[in-house]
Chain A
Amino acid sequence: MNPLSAPWLELAIGTAAVGSIVVGWLGRPDRVYRWGVAFIGSAFACSLLASLSFYAEGPAASPGARPSPLALDDLSAPLLPAVALLHLLTAVATARAHARRFSFSWSLAAEAIGLAIFATKGPWPLVGLLAASTVPPLVELRNRGRPTRLYALHMALFVGLLILGQTGVDARGPASAAPGWACLALTAAVLIRSGAAPAHCWVTDWFEHASFGIALLYALPLSGVYAAIRLVVPIAPDWCLRLIGLASLATAVYASAMAVVQREERRFFAFLFVGHAALVLVGLGIHTELSLCASLCLWFSAILSLCGFGLTLRALEARFGRLSLAVHHGLYERTPVLAVFFLLTGLASVGFPGTVGFVSVELLVDGAVDADLPAGIGVLAASALGGIAVLRAYLALFAGGRSDSSVAVGITRRERFAVTALTMLILAGGVFPQSGVKTRETAAAAILKDRARRGTAATPAKPGEAAASEPASPRSRPLR
């Protein structure tokens, strides 16, 4: 029997789900930690094998070919192991002293739901899973005794709009287009979940109140973008996607600018994250093959780089507590390795050369300028401001003074392993980007093909229009 043909996808989700229950029964924190990491590691291995099986043997041989609501495709195949890796590295990098605070049981539950989301294409199962995914964060906030009203309000609105929109879409006849109000409801739901302004406040609030590790796990996979691709892009008219593009562009610029002036590191990170989520949606809103490919590349690079960046900030927090960015801390001499990782992952997130984000940002700017010059300028502005915000944070945390204490607070082995693994991926993706870009290009083409098949691309995307009216240039090709 070919080992790759085993149901790895189901095993990955099942392992996380079973792990959540088993770990919940364990009492001692050290046992919880060991078993928790073992389950999360196993889930990662299974998801990696599921992804490999998809690429090695194609969708026909992958578990999705069997009668199961779960399936991988070009879009989700690399995202699944990325999400599992995010969980694994976050768990591994958790300091023993903080293992009590880090809820392995809820983290595994969230992982099971997250993996299931990324392996689901059907609208209603996806709506159900997205609704279910809002529960673990609520429990986390309650367990920590933090205010939940703001989060609950936003998520209730998100789930309500999602159900309303999908009901409207299902109510249409098979031959008719989805009603505008239903598309609008789905669009609003996606924008809320992705933290588009002014609904971004739940993201900043979430990062304020949750433990940093759990906050990363819930936010970074960008489930809102996945919902947009599965639920909105296939059926929404062009104006709906343009609305997503516009709202996201404004959010990207606003959030990146806000990141520059933040006085506390978690809020700074939250705004940086909101800016990235918005940039990913900008490419989706433009929905040309190039911009969509850029968007998918950026999504992947954001998961890796922001995870590394977040873990570095979390490691700093573990040593020094919540840090103000309004003062110089001069921590470089005490934690030089963390400083290097901070800079590297931070710059990767804003698309610095040699890192995985470089090509993504280049492609996105190219795609945006191709479709709409102001959109391109907006993307550039967001990227430039993000770069300023990252260096400002670096200088505030690591330079400008001498730390009072001489106690060594170097990086631990487990933290080093987690951040080094991410850094290697970030650099490898930056130096050899083509294979990754190729998979994203295939996924983008499949998404647009699906949209065209359903007849929702009533008017061609702008480059296509240009191609119809002007002599064909190699860069203004109509969508295939």
Chain B
Amino acid sequence: MTGFELWTRALGAVVVGGPVALTVALGGASLLGRPPREERTSRLVEATIVSGLLATLAMLVTMLATGSRRVAVDFGEWVAVADSYHFRIKFVFDRLSVPVAILSFVLIGTIGAFASRYLHRERGFNRFFVLYSVFALGMIATSLAGTMETLFAGWELVGLSSALLVGFYHERRAPSRNALWVWSVYRFSDAALLLAVVTMHRLRGAGDLDVLFGFAAWPEARADVTAAQAFLVGLLLLTAAAGKSALAPFSGWLPRAMEGPTPSSAVFYGALSVHLGAFLLMRTSPLWERSLAMGALVAALGLATAAFAHVVGAAGTDIKSALSFASLAQVGMIVAETGAAGVAGWVGGRASGDVAVAAAAAAVWLRYVALAHFLGHACLRTLQFLRAPTLLHDYHQLENAIGEGAPRPTAAAGRRGDARAEARRYRFALERGFLDAALTTFVAAPFTRALRRCDSLERRWTDWLSGEPSRESDQVKPRPGTFDEVL
């Protein structure tokens, strides 16, 4: 092993090992029933984030100094079954993963510092930071993943911590219901991603991104698959991304996720987690870009989501919901840019002469635009979310500064077109595009009804076989305020 390899391996170990150690320390202490004091937790978080950030920056400097556009840190095989299955722990530092990792450390660190004050003496302080550490680990693992399996593991960690933070306030019902809703969408998206991972594994014989996309650095990498294969896998990836990034038709979970504490709303749904779907599409773009239809579909879904979020966000009556839809509109645009890059890349690969060169250059440029959009938007939205709890205070300060009431928009100012269309638009926005209602009416309710019917048939069957009432569980009666309304 050369000195360069040793150095990058050490840096990689610090970047990934820090969040692992933090999760083990905070989670282990909780399991033993001895959670650390607040100050100690804050110091641990600070040390982990700062060391991770410095190691990532050192990696960036090393890459710039040596001219390496791509550094792979391979920790070897984690699981292998003969030559049928291989799971490598491998991380890749390139032009996509390094900025996202730096952004993650910066924003997670900011939120950590904010939350240690915001949640001071809250009952759930320790619980928040355990989930926060799981989130940090998931985010870093996903952004730096060098194999699809590692990416999937990180993806699941992010999903679980997100859902549990939505249900952070245990004493109220609404957060629990919303957490279950978010988790259900996430599980659907996880299943789609796992199927995509396994299909990719099957197509290329490995989940290693180098094997899947060739050894070229992002954004120039290209996978060697047919258009049909690219479309099939791309569809699964898009489904996974749509669930995670709340793209249409899964957008309904985003405002529900605002039930969590403000720091988690900021870091999950304003900054990082909500962009993870877009990141997945960027990371796997060398594969699905081989299909023109897939590129067009990604762009169309991004634009549709942006338009939807713009319309629905206009009717938001609380700051966090308004911000969440504003965030979604931008995520939609980032996805649209990624899709447009895919279309341009496809044209670049098929056309000839100047057209090919121009299209290829446009594709690369659009990929960088999407990445820059992601980074900038995440920072801006974090700031807005963190200021959200003091919005009224800020507003009053502004009014004091200008010496009079700030101008407020009137109902008439926002009106366009005839009154009936306006009312329809307003209803559509207020009901959030009826997406949640559609999912409840056409998916959740029939599912529950059918299974309850099966349950009732089972009861009759077991009663008949037993020759007497067979269910003791029927005597366990629920109290009013049932949980069933979730399903």
Q: Which residues of A contact B (CB under 8 A)?
A: 147, 149-150, 153, 198, 201, 204-205, 208-209, 254, 257-258, 260-264, 266-267, 289-290, 293, 321-328, 330, 332-333, 336-337, 340-341, 344, 347, 352-354, 358-359, 362-363, 365-367, 369-370, 376-377, 380-381, 383-385, 387-388, 391-392, 395-396, 398-402, 410-411, 416, 420, 423, 433-434, 437, 441, 473-475, 477
Contact A347 B483 (CB under 8 A): no
B85's partner among A208, A344, A366 (CB-CB below 8 A) is A366
A365's partner among B184, B194, B481 (CB-CB below 8 A) is B194
B123 CB-CB contact with A under 8 Å? yes
Query: In chain A, what residue has the closest Cβ to B469?
Result: A147
Contact B478 A324 (CB under 8 A): yes
Name the interface residues of B432-487: CB closer than 8 Å to any CB of A. Answer: 447-448, 451-452, 454-455, 458, 461-462, 465-468, 470-473, 475-479, 481-484, 486-487
B157 CB-CB contact with A under 8 Å? yes
Chain A positions within 8 Å of B194 at CB level: 362, 365, 380
Chain A positions within 8 Å of B198 at CB level: 365-366, 369, 376
A132 to B473, CA, bound (A): 29
Binds A, one of B105-113, B165-173, B344-352: B165-173
B160's partner among A204, A347, A410 (CB-CB below 8 A) is A347
A384's partner among B82, B153, B190 (CB-CB below 8 A) is B190
Number of B interface residues at 8 Å Cβ cutoff, please give it: 75
Chain B positions within 8 Å of A423 at CB level: 31
A-B contact count (CB 8 A): 209
Chain B CB count within 10 A is highest, among A257, A293, A328, A347, for A328
Chain B positions within 8 Å of A366 at CB level: 85, 198, 201
Chain B positions within 8 Å of A150 at CB level: 462, 465-466, 470
B31's partner among A204, A209, A340, A398 (CB-CB below 8 A) is A340
| 10 A-B interface contacts by CB (under 8 A) | A149-B467, A150-B470, A322-B472, A337-B31, A358-B153, A384-B190, A388-B180, A391-B180, A473-B205, A477-B83
Chain A positions within 8 Å of B447 at CB level: 257
Q: Which residues of B contact A (CB under 8 A)?
A: 30-33, 77-85, 87, 123, 149, 152-154, 156-157, 160, 163, 167, 170-173, 175-177, 179-180, 183-184, 187-188, 190-191, 194-195, 198-199, 201-202, 205-206, 447-448, 451-452, 454-455, 458, 461-462, 465-468, 470-473, 475-479, 481-484, 486-487
Contact B483 A328 (CB under 8 A): yes
Contact B176 A434 (CB under 8 A): no
Nearest Cβ on chain B to A300's Cβ, whole angstroms? 14
Contact B33 A333 (CB under 8 A): no
Contact B170 A147 (CB under 8 A): no
Query: In chain B, what residue has the closest Cβ to A440?
Result: B81
Contact A330 B171 (CB under 8 A): yes
Chain B CB count within 10 A is highest, among A266, A391, A433, for A391
Contact B173 A401 (CB under 8 A): yes
Nearest Cβ on chain B to A57's Cβ, whole angstroms? 25
Chain B positions within 8 Å of A198 at CB level: 461
A293 to B452, CA, bound (A): 35
Nearest Cβ on chain B to A386's Cβ, whole angstroms? 9
Chain A positions within 8 Å of B160 at CB level: 347, 352
Query: In chain A, what residue has the closest Cβ to B32?
Result: A420
A324 to B167, CA, bound (A): 20
